[in-house]
Amino acid sequence: MLATSGRALVGASVLSADFGALRQDTASALRAGADFVHVDVMDGHLVPNLSMGPAVCAALRRHFPTVALDVHLMVSDPALFLEPFAKAGADSLTVHLEADGDIRKLIRRIHALGCRAAIAISPPTPSSKVLPYLDEADMVLVMSVHPGYSGQSFMPSALRKAAALRKHMDASQRLEVDGGVDASNARACRDAGFDTLVSASAIFGAADRAAVIRSMHGPAVARRGALSR
Ligand code: DX5
Ligand code: ZN
């Protein structure tokens, strides 16, 4: 295992926020130290759930004009949604390798829209499938649960994928983990090479959100680039 590789960025996934008080709950996570907001978009097709669309992203952008919005598109046809979410204020757009479409074209489209581009892989997808696109991607998202729901248990296979990917990535590229991340596994995530940790239930379900986010940040100083444009 590698030595702890620096302070991670922590994203609050609003999938576990109180949707009836989204503004207040998001503000609370940011006050508690979250570095960015993660927006989970589900189409009921690539994953077995529905969540939120561009209007919710636009509302977050209106209320939090300077916060980085990291939009995770768990949809079968991401090409349909890149422009709507870019216009809604997304800073980064993540498309799944398991979705339809030419990944390279999707990355270029995301860049043309002025956003950072990320590729996500679900647990059954080997990390090697990402390698052909690493030259153009700004970030890789390794799912540590089957996408669709918050509140699932962390799958340690994500740690092996991180180690395999990190050695092919340069210092400006981010490696994000999403699913079941909490205070008990955050250090293992950082040590494996993840520099960007996303959490929904562990943050929004905590009595002391700041303590949870501190444990996810880890001790040292950040090395990699910011998530915002
Ligand atoms: C899962 C989503 C995750 C989810 C994480 O499909 O992509 O972002 O909100 O939730 P927790 O942290 O509760 O596993
Ligand atoms: Zn997500």
The CATH number linked to 128 is 3.20.20.70
* Mean of pLDDT over the chain: 95
pLDDT value at 89 more than 60: yes
In a domain, 102, yes or no: yes
149 alpha carbon to ligand 2 midpoint, in Å? 9
In a domain, 228, yes or no: no
Residue 62 CB coordination number (10 Å): 11
Q: Is the CB of 179 under 6 A from ligand 1?
A: yes
Q: Total structural domains in the chain?
A: 1
In a domain, 55, yes or no: yes
Tell me the per-residue pLDDT of 47-66, one tens digit each, with 9 for 90 and over.
Answer: 999 999 999 999 999 999 99
In a domain, 202, yes or no: yes
In a domain, 191, yes or no: yes
Q: Is the CB of 127 under 6 A from ligand 1?
A: no
Q: Is the CB of 158 under 6 A from ligand 1?
A: no
Say what the pTM is.
0.95
In a domain, 168, yes or no: yes
Domain that residue 167 falls in? 4-222
pLDDT of residue 91: 98
Q: The dihedral of CA 34, 36, 41, 46: what is its sign?
A: negative
In a domain, 129, yes or no: yes
In a domain, 229, yes or no: no
> What pLDDT band is residue 192 in, cutting at 50, 70 and 90?
very high
pLDDT of residue 3: 37
